[in-house]
């Protein structure tokens, strides 16, 4: 009987840890090569937000999963760019990918969402399979230099999503971990950037 009680307590402890990890995201090793790592706080917060502490996206060049290039010029082409950092070994990242795909598909032309697969370089086929299964058809970055590499080095968790204006400045707070209402949380963050840029708020397309 005593052994059964001990086993039950251990099982409860493991379950509690699992739920905690799923809710908060996956931590990354700080010594991983860029782009790597993750951090910050939930969307909302102060008027200025904490995402700017991670850096900016004013000057960089990144390789995409389909063999293309993505730079600060692609950021400048939109009023707001949401950037989702994820990894192939992060369960919460993959679980939220269909919601991420649906959000991206519902955005108007002046807003875009791109993802950064932190361990995608060398694992392209696995990354493509996950994205295809989730329905995500947007841009995914798998390597980068300049501001992107510096920003990745300041991150601590996946998934992390940040929001940049056309100038590459990060506005508001980074969104960390899986979100119960991903579209609502991300939409509020996008509209915060638009308002601070003097532009009209958006709603998601049906």
Could you report the per-residue pLDDT of 64-98, keeping only the tens digit for each?
999 999 999 999 999 999 999 999 999 999 999 99
Asked if residues 80 and 111 have their Cβ atoms less than 8 Å apart, the reply is yes
pLDDT at 27: 62
pLDDT at 6: 39
Please give the backbone phi and psi of residue 27, each rounded to the nearest 5 degrees, phi first.
-80, 155
CA 12 to chain centre: 30
Distance CA 167, CA 183 (A): 24
Distance CA 98, CA 205 (A): 17
**Residue 10, exposed/middle/buried by CB under 10 A (0-12, 13-18, 19+)?**
exposed
pLDDT at 15: 33
Asked if residues 164 and 80 have their Cβ atoms less than 8 Å apart, the reply is yes
pLDDT beneath 70, residues of the chain:
1-25, 27-48
Placement of tokens 């409860």 in the chain: 12
Q: Is the sign of the CA dihedral 98, 103, 106, 110 positive or negative? A: negative
Residue 117, helix vs strand vs coil: strand
């Amino acid at each position: 009987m005593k052994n059964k009680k001990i086993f039950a307590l251990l099982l409860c402890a493991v379950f509690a840890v699992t739920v905690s990890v799923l809710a908060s995201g996956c931590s990354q090793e700080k010594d991983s090569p860029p782009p790597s790592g993750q951090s910050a706080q939930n969307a909302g917060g102060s008027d200025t937000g904490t995402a700017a502490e991670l850096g900016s996206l004013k000057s960089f060049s990144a390789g995409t999963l389909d063999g293309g290039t993505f730079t600060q010029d692609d950021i400048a082409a939109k009023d707001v760019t949401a950037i989702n950092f994820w990894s192939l070994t992060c369960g919460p990242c993959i679980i939220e990918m269909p919601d991420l795909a649906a959000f991206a598909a519902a955005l108007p032309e002046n807003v875009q969402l791109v993802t950064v697969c932190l361990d995608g370089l060398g694992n392209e086929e696995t990354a493509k399979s996950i994205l295809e299964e989730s329905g995500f058809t947007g841009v995914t970055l798998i390597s980068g230099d300049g501001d992107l590499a510096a920003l990745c080095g300041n991150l601590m968790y996946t998934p992390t999503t940040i929001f940049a204006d056309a100038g590459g400045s990060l506005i508001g707070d980074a969104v960390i971990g899986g979100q119960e209402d991903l579209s609502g949380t991300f939409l509020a963050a996008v509209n915060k950037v638009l308002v601070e840029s003097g532009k009209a708020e958006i709603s998601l397309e049906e």
